[in-house]
Structure 1
Amino acid sequence: MAETKTLLKIEGLRKHFGALNVLNGVDLSLGQSKKLVLIGPSGSGKTTLLRCINHLEVPNAGHIYLDGELIGEERRGDRILRASASKLASQRREMGFVFQNFYLWPHLTVLENVALGPWRVQRLARKDAMTLAETMLEKVHMAHKRNEYPERLSGGQQQRIGIARALAQQPKVMLFDEPTSALDPELVGEVLGVIQELAAEGRSMVMVTHEIRFARDVADEIVFMDGGVVVESGSPAEVIDNPRHERTQRFLGQLRVG
């Protein structure tokens, strides 16, 4: 069997906010078309790790590579320096970020929200951006709401628009930060269903979630974090069904995963 190409690589990542150490040397990798899910208690560093991947938070140490290219940094001779703002903006377009909250423009229609990035940022012709937006809305089952405004949509529908907007960047990897945490329980399933469909297409993903049963179904690899470090990682069968570390066992026991 051919070896899976490494798409995303994280080496020795550290991040602190003043005296608070949030990430304490994280090493991870994601293969092409693979799904990596981060689980762990609140405050374990999961969201900070995700935000560091595309430099919404700037790491204090360590390096991140996407498709072999340094993210947020560039080599000049034997030195590694901060990347320029334009270089970082270009790199961020390779990573579709879906946030906990939706951050949709209230004065734009659903279609305009999704088309705005390709049109204004990626410089697609407006007609082409609208066509691309239509395609992404169909992918998240929201094409019938193309002319609605965000305030007329449920939270689950708004989050699906957020996913469509990220997909419209045509990224190499999708980053999901607790995409269902702001939703009423009855709306969670519709968002997870869309993510599961995207996973089945072979999209590369890194996802932070407390939806453990969903993580078991969708992930190729589960990473359990606590205290800013990777406590253990492996397949869902290894980490969720047969965790080795006592801290993982205790965390999952509190969630009563069945």
Structure 2
Amino acid sequence: MSAPVLSVRGLDVAFRVGRGARARTVRAVTGADLDLRPGRLTALVGESGCGKSVLTEALTGLLPATAAVRGSATLSTPDGDLELLDAPESDLRDRVRGRLLGLVPQSAATHLTPTRTVGAQLRETLARLGAGIPVAELMERAALPRHVLELYPHELSGGQAQRAGLAAALAGDPPVLLADEPTAGLDRPLVEHVTALLAGLADEGRAVLLITHDLRAARDVADDVAVMYASRLVETGPATEVFTGPWHPYTAGLLGALPDAGFTPVPGHPPELSALPPGCPFAPRCPERESCSGDPEPVRHGDRTVSCSGPVGS
């Protein structure tokens, strides 16, 4: 397997919210280890609110000033390794965003200027990045018809808006692409179209991170998968292995909730990130809790990692 182009180790992200007696700490990401490799699409999956988007914001330096961040995120570049979490904003703005890391944000239409056409905004992005890609080629990469260049954001369909966001993210030809819920709100044919585009971009040699709560979409296109629950990555590994033989009870529960597996939901609800229980955060919902020690520390077995001391995968 190729060396990672982006390697995350021990990433913690916490927010202090409220004042006085109402103040509390929200632990959005806890101890995350994640590798993104060239030519592979990694799906980061989990229920809404588990911390997936915060992880991406940490990597791109888009967290608010109230965030406390620890750990490392090392990006391999032609000029040597770059530590993203310590990089000054000027480096992130001028060297990283758009050039080394492309970001497809949630609800891409809201990130487009409503009074300017898609074409004007894409041409401006290309000029700002100093990219030599013709706008027609950019449209082709994102599978957008040429007439969309003349449209305003409010005239776009949901799928067109997401692909316009993808085109903007590809303008600087970045080796790493982060797509944050790019299929949210789309119908199934459009979900399959957008995820197939992302898989094709990985096949071209990029490292692609697909953040989604749509496990079916992830199962269709992912090379690797990382399962997140209550701020923690509870299982990671090759997608075919994780999806056919899950080790963590939460992963097994997510797969059991798919329509072709009986549509059995995971019982209960995830904890609030401001009130995480001690030990394993999944324990209150876990069918194996009587036979585990409650220690959620990750253990690596070959290419797979699991944060579970119960019988699953043993």
2: CA distance between counterparts of 1:196 and 1:30? 14
Q: Which residue identity is paired with 1:136?
A: L
Query: Which of 236, 242, 246 is matched with 1:239 structurally?
Result: 242
Deviation (angstroms), 1:232:
0.9
Q: Which moved more, 1:39-48 or 1:141-150?
A: 141-150
1:196 deviation in Å?
Answer: 3.0
Superposition pairs for residues 205-216 of structure 1, below 5 Å?
205-216=208-219
Please give the alpha-carbon distance, in whole angstroms, between the structure 2 residues aligned to 1:191 and 1:201.
16
Aligned equivalents of 2:85, 2:172: Cα separation in 1: 18
Task: Indicate the RMSD between aligned Cα atoms, in angstroms.
Answer: 2.0
What residue number does 1:97 align with? Answer: 103
After superposing the two structures, state which structure 1 stretch, 220-229 or 102-111, moved more.
102-111
- Mapping for residues 35-46 of structure 1, pairs under 5 Å: 35-46=41-52
Residues 97 and 24 (structure 1), Cα distance of their counterparts in 2 relative to 1, 3 Å cut? same
- Structure with more relative contact order (C-alpha pairs < 8 Å, separation 6 or more): 1
What is the deviation of 1:257?
Answer: 5.0
1:253 aligns with 2:256: yes
2:144 maps to 1:142:
yes
Matches within 5 A, 1:25-40: 25-40=31-46
2:175 corresponds to 1:172: yes
Q: 1:228 aligns with which of 219, 231, 240?
A: 231
Q: Per the alignment, in what secondary structure is the counterpart of residue 180 of structure 1?
A: coil
Q: What one-letter code is carried by the residue in structure 2 that aligns with 1:137?
A: M
Q: How does 1:199-210 map to 2 (within 5 A)?
A: 199-210=202-213
Does the C-alpha gap of structure 1 residues 4 and 187 become closer, same or farther in structure 2, counting only changes over 3 Å?
closer
Q: Is the 8 A contact 1:54 1:92 kept in 2?
A: yes
**Matching residue's letter, 1:96:** G
Q: Which has the higher mean CA deviation after the structures are superposed, 163-172 or 177-186?
A: 177-186
Alignment correspondent of 2:13: 15
Which residue is equivalent to 1:78? none
Amino acid paired to 1:144: R
The alignment status of 1:181 with 2:188, answered yes or no, reads no
In the other structure, the counterpart of 2:303 is: none
Q: Of 205, 218, 221, which aligns to 2:221?
A: 218
| Contact residue 5 and residue 38 of structure 2 kept, 8 A | yes
Larger Rg: 2
User: Structure 1 regions of 5+ residues with no counterpart?
Assistant: 74-82
Taking the aligned partners of 1:31 and 1:132, their CA distance within structure 2 comes to 27
Cα gap change, 1:156 to 1:238, in 2 (>3 Å): same
Question: What's the counterpart of residue 69 of structure 1?
Answer: 82
User: For each residue in 1:106-158, what CA deviation from the matched residue of structure 2 results, as whole angstroms up to 9, or x when unmatched?
Assistant: 22222222121221x3246xxx5xx5322110122224222222222211111
Q: Distance in 2 between matches of 1:59 and 1:169?
A: 30
Q: CA–CA distance in 2 between the matches of 1:248 and 1:123?
A: 43
Higher mean C-alpha displacement, 84-93 vs 150-159: 84-93
Q: Structure 1 segments of 4 or more deviating over 6 A?
A: none
TM-score of the pair, normalised by structure 1? 0.85
Residue equivalent to 2:2: 4
Kindly tell me the number of residue pairs found equivalent between the two proteins.
241
